[in-house]
Amino acid sequence: MCLRCLIFVCVLFVAGIVSAADSFDVAGGSYRAMREVDTGGKGTVVITQFLHHGLINLAPRGVDPRRANEGACVLVTTRAKKPVPFKILQLGPGDYCRIAFQPEARTSTYHIYYGVPAGKSAAENVKIPEWTATAGLLFEARRPEGGFDMNNLESVKKAFESSTKIIGADYVDTVYHGFNPLTLRREPFLSRYTGVLNVTEGGRYAVITSSHHCSFLLIDGKEVASHPGRHHRSWDARPEILKHVNLTVGKHSFEYYHATADDQTSMLVVWQLNPEPKPEKLALIPTEAFGGGEIARVAAGPLTLADEAGAPDFEFRIMGSVPLPGNDQQMVAVQFVNKSAGMAARGKYTWTFGDGLTSEDNAPGHIFLKPGIYSVELASQTASHRFATVNRIEIEPLHRPLDLKKEPTLEQYLTVIEKYDTAKLQADALLQLIEAYQAKIDRILNPSASELAAAEAALIEGTAATEERPAARERNRPRTQIRQMSQEQEEVAKYRRLIAQTIRNALVENPDFKGDAAVYKLALMGGGIARDYLHDPKLAGQIFVAAAQKLTFGEFSAECFALAAEVSLEMQNRDAAKRFLEQAERKTSKMGQGRPISTFYRVQADYLAEIGQGEEARKSLARAAETVGARNQYTEQIALQGSASRSAENFIREKNYDRAIEALRTWQVEYPAAAYDGYITLLFARYWMGRDQNALAASLVNRQMTLNPDSAYLDEMLLAASDAQLAAGNRDAALAYLSTLIKDHPGSPLVPEAKEKLEKMKSEE
């Protein structure tokens, strides 16, 4: 080989583009990845943790994954590749791994090897030295797989030992927990604490175990205290849980079993030496009694792959979470830390968070909109190569905030998530985002008592300078309040626009946007906001049509097409309404029941009335009433409709049009047959007139005349239609409505008013 070629190969080798080997061959086994751990000479038991990017996964169903991977897929050695005793304490959730090992004297550097190299088999004959350490109190947790008796130690013990749903294990200071320390989930679980209790002062000890649901304490294999059954933790030293045991100086085996059948957790053991005449200074068993001082926790070093020169590596930390009203899934903030080394540390980084969003920051913070397992990728791109590592991580709210005084707020999270590229989010995540926006709207419109007090204090402070001039204060305060109301309205409008536009963008621009339940809910929410609060029927129509085209469940799709038709009627576009109703009908089950089918028939009735087909319109309206399903008795329905009508009427009179349309839509959906009577149509006409949609208000009257020419409210509608047409500048149409009222309803008490208006209009010609 020429010198130039030799130099080139050497450069490639040093750069890592050509690998000397595709595995780490150690103690008779082959492994793909390695991490170095420096103990600093601390501890007789060392604990470390890392993300294994999917390389530790050899456990078949029903087998403890920790034991299945020990040796075969994971090995801990000295730097000289000598195996040391170790245990896999926890695998999961996601790609999380926790390991404990016994260090050797005068040796501080260790290697953790893991993963099976491509094309090779898992190691079979690796010998792991026997575990001999007795230091520390080991906590283990498992999920129950069947029923057991919480009043019986043997039943609880058997349930724990037989469970194959392993959560994991870790060393803890003592028996004192208000949550499961191995997971952020709140769920039923079984637990066991085991260790060696070193008694330094012999005598008679008072002992109490107190727990949420059952707990049992064994020393030297004998039950010495218990709190059986289902109950909350007791704060009193009641006789049934206060026990006494004689303990000699020296080491004693210690076992503690606990089980909870709900999402609450609490367990503790307290003791006191020679409590005469009664225990008054019960205290937790100190961690020193279990040799806790010999437990060392150290960080694992960066990832090294045998078959790749550079591999990105990262860690993460959950920083906090914010709940949403009426939603058990919180938004969770996470800080990522880039631990990449080697060639991967020289590239340009790209993070993909598994929720559709990305970042190019070195160590980004990210808010996950809902808990779950996410596949997070960190990629490093150099001029000639792309390195990438994917870890599955579990995102769950913390059991408690890191700092109670700095608990995050919805407003802080909103400043971040408002900048998200929402077109990339999947439906369930987007729904969570929308609910965050809606929570902000609700908070503005319905501030809590504390927020109101703060606002009032700010208002008083702002007017303090005029305190000696009452007249000036009274003049200024209304302007301040009006200005504040205007700001609130602008902020509400901002978030409503965000909701509608975000939903529209996701439905129209994201071809992978799927999930019938979430898409349906988003469509109703976004389309309704665009139509009724933003008064943007075009945007509403885009949302309804895009959702209808994505939905696979026929009845959901039919309702969205029908709502698009309803918006078209409001825009007085009959052709579009007809087209959307035809598409809806193709999606409609003839035997269907419920809101989606009822909506289709209700809108179809409106369209038929619009084009003058009264008989068919009445049939369709009757079908809408049949399919919606009567949830109340007839008298209750009358009462509920009366309440809805009074609410809508009052809101229209007060010009509170947002509340008015809410009441009208609810009434319309739940009692579609109300359209035949006509009062709801009259209120809709008045609502649209209040919104300066006078032509639409008049068209509703025409529709009602076709649907039910005998409506008791038709005279009021004709008078309202006349006012609407006059306001719209259609003087001839206004005259026609007045003439119809006088001619066709001679007995109406509104005839004198109609004649007066008619004469006045003619005199102005």
Which string of DSSP letters, residue by residue, matches 238-304? -TTTEEEEEE-SEEEEEEEEEEESSS---EEEEEEES--SS----EEPPGGGGTGGGEEE--EEEEE
Q: What is the DSSP string of 353-400?
A: -SSS-EE--SS-EEEESS-EEEEEEEEEE-SS-EEEEEEEEEE---SS
* Rounded Cα–Cα distance for residues 400 and 178 (Å): 10
How is residue 696 written in tokens? Answer: 């639409």
Confidence of residue 82 (pLDDT cuts 50, 70, 90): very high
* Rounded Cα–Cα distance for residues 295 and 45 (Å): 5
* Rounded Cα–Cα distance for residues 676 and 624 (Å): 12
* Rounded Cα–Cα distance for residues 298 and 314 (Å): 16
Predicted local confidence at residue 396, as pLDDT: 93
Q: Which of 78-87, 312-321, 449-458 has the lowest mean pLDDT?
A: 449-458
Predicted local confidence at residue 614, as pLDDT: 94
Q: Which of 329-338, 496-505, 746-755 has the lowest mean pLDDT?
A: 746-755
Position 207 pLDDT exceeds 70: yes
Predicted local confidence at residue 96, as pLDDT: 97
Report how far apart, in Å, the C-alpha atoms of 106 and of each of 75, 109, 110 are: 20, 10, 12
Read off the pTM.
0.82
Burial (0-12, 13-18, 19+ Cβ within 10 Å), 571: middle
pLDDT digits (tens, 9 = 90+) for 413-432: 999 999 999 888 888 899 99
* Rounded Cα–Cα distance for residues 544 and 509 (Å): 14
Confidence of residue 521 (pLDDT cuts 50, 70, 90): very high
The fraction of the chain above a pLDDT of 70, given in percent, is 90
pLDDT digits (tens, 9 = 90+) for 524-566: 999 999 999 999 999 999 999 999 999 999 999 999 999 999 9
Q: Which of 12-26, 336-350, 434-448, 473-487 has the lowest mean pLDDT?
A: 473-487
Confidence of residue 373 (pLDDT cuts 50, 70, 90): very high
Predicted local confidence at residue 470, as pLDDT: 42
Judge whether 682 and 645 are in contact, CB under 8 Å: no
Sign of the Cα torsion 584, 586, 587, 588 reads positive
Averaged confidence pLDDT in the chain: 88
Predicted local confidence at residue 457, as pLDDT: 54
Confidence of residue 638 (pLDDT cuts 50, 70, 90): low
Predicted local confidence at residue 430, as pLDDT: 92
Tokens 């626009």 -> residue: 497
How is residue 535 written in tokens? Answer: 């008064």
Secondary structure of 516-533 as H, E, C letters: HHHHHHHHHHHHHHHHHC
- The H or E element spanning position 432 is helix 427-445
How is residue 195 written in tokens? Answer: 């260790």
Tokens 């000639």 -> residue: 384
- List, in sequence order, the alpha helices (H) in 168-257: none
Judge whether 69 and 91 are in contact, CB under 8 Å: yes
Report how far apart, in Å, the C-alpha atoms of 765 and of each of 22, 152, 195, 751 are: 97, 97, 102, 21
Q: Which of 44-48, 235-239, 250-254 has the lowest mean pLDDT?
A: 235-239
DSSP class of 466: G
Confidence of residue 469 (pLDDT cuts 50, 70, 90): very low
Q: What is the dihedral of CA 459, 463, 467, 470, to 10 degrees?
A: -90
Position 119 pLDDT exceeds 90: no
Secondary structure of 48-77 as H, E, C letters: EEEECCCCCCCCCCCCCHHHHHECCCEEEE
* Rounded Cα–Cα distance for residues 31 and 120 (Å): 9
Q: What is the DSSP string of 601-622?
A: HHHHHHHHHHTT-HHHHHHHHH
pLDDT digits (tens, 9 = 90+) for 568-589: 999 999 999 999 999 999 998 7
Position 483 pLDDT exceeds 80: no
Q: What is the DSSP string of 644-659?
A: HHHHHHHHHHTT-HHH
Q: What is the mean pLDDT of residues 315-341?
A: 92
* Rounded Cα–Cα distance for residues 274 and 597 (Å): 76
Residues 6+ apart with CB under 8 A from 696: 570, 572, 688
Q: Which of 274-278, 296-300, 430-434 has the lowest mean pLDDT?
A: 274-278
